[in-house]
Amino acid sequence: MGNLLHIRSGPLPAWLLRSHLRNPCALPVRNLPRPFGTSFLPAQLPGKAKDSPAVFGRRRRTSVSLAVSAETGPQKVNVLFVCLGNICRSPSAEAVFKDKVAKAGLTDHFSIDSCGLGGGNEDWYLDRGWAYHEGHRADERMRETATTRGFDLTSRSRPLKPEDLTAFDYILGMDFDNMALMQIAADHWAATKDIPANYRNKVKLMCSFIPKSSSYNGVKEVPDPYWDDDRERRGFHRVLDLLEDACAGLLDTVVKEHGLQPK
């Protein structure tokens, strides 16, 4: 990762710094920078009731049939996977989901991508901001672990952009900190850019799609394996375990909501 988040509220206590070194996603949401003095909890957004379908992490079920044009083919469902640096979890989710979509014969119905949230640089979403790992391939350990399961991680890291909130129909965060960072960026962009009013309906936790039948049902977050130094790479395997189940549930949900049929 190369750097730690700078916390506006003051220096990190030693115990929290040690926790962050082990897991860069372990920082509490309350310590993340908040533009405009906003107060955000992943379970409830400002001005939204707890049972609102616009709350991050909650599913909003709809029934939509995709139009088919003789000239352009089927309208695509756009899916974006998001994590902190876009080098471990989200590129893995992208590869796993593409594989499941292809095996279901639905490749022509989807546009699938992944992105990051600065990789630890707190100003990544500002006009002159930048993101760690941008342009880099996925972490070598993640790529090697994914290869053992037949998944090929080919994407290059990029940060989330304002236009992504318009272009994508499903935006999947890997953990609650990812959800908070997306909220912060969207709040900032909304002041100067055209952000769709319904973008909150699109943003959901990846693990919310894990099927009830899965042994991982009840797991809330996909943990960041970046600091995992286990020779067996159990942290990387756990990421893939969770993503395989979550992607299966996500595909099932999208197929039902959009009435997709194999080509």
CB 82 within 8 A of CB 115: yes
pLDDT surpasses 80 at 202: yes
pTM value surpassing 0.85: no
Q: Which value, to the nearest 10 degrees, does the dihedral of the CA atoms of residues 228, 209, 58, 158 take?
A: 50
- Span between the terminal Cα atoms of the chain, in Å: 41
Q: What domains can you pick out in the chain, each with its CATH number?
A: 42-258 (3.40.50.2300)
Q: What are phi and psi of 94, to 5 degrees?
A: -60, -45
- Band of the pLDDT at 74, cuts 50, 70, 90? low
Burial class (CB in 10 A: 0-12, 13-18, 19+), 213: exposed
Token couple for 204: 């959901």
Beta strands in 129-199 (DSSP E): 170-173
- Band of the pLDDT at 229, cuts 50, 70, 90? confident
The whole-number average pLDDT for the span 238-262 is 96
Burial string for 30-43 (b: 16+ CB within 10 Å, else e) reads ebbebeeeeebebe
- The residues pairing with 116 across neighbouring beta strands, listed in sequence order, are 159
DSSP-assigned states of every residue in 195-262:
--TTHHHHEEEGGGGS-TTSTTTT-------TT---TT-HHHHHHHHHHHHHHHHHHHHHHHHHT---
pLDDT surpasses 60 at 62: no
Amino acid at 197: A
The whole-number average pLDDT for the span 112-124 is 96
Q: What whole-number distance in Å separates Cα of residue 133 and Cα of residue 85? A: 7
pLDDT at 46: 36
Q: What whole-number distance in Å separates Cα of residue 252 and Cα of residue 255? A: 5
| 148-193 pLDDT, tens digit each | 999 999 999 999 999 999 999 999 999 999 999 999 999 999 999 9
Which residues are known to be catalytic? Answer: 83, 89, 224
Q: How many residues does the chain have?
A: 263
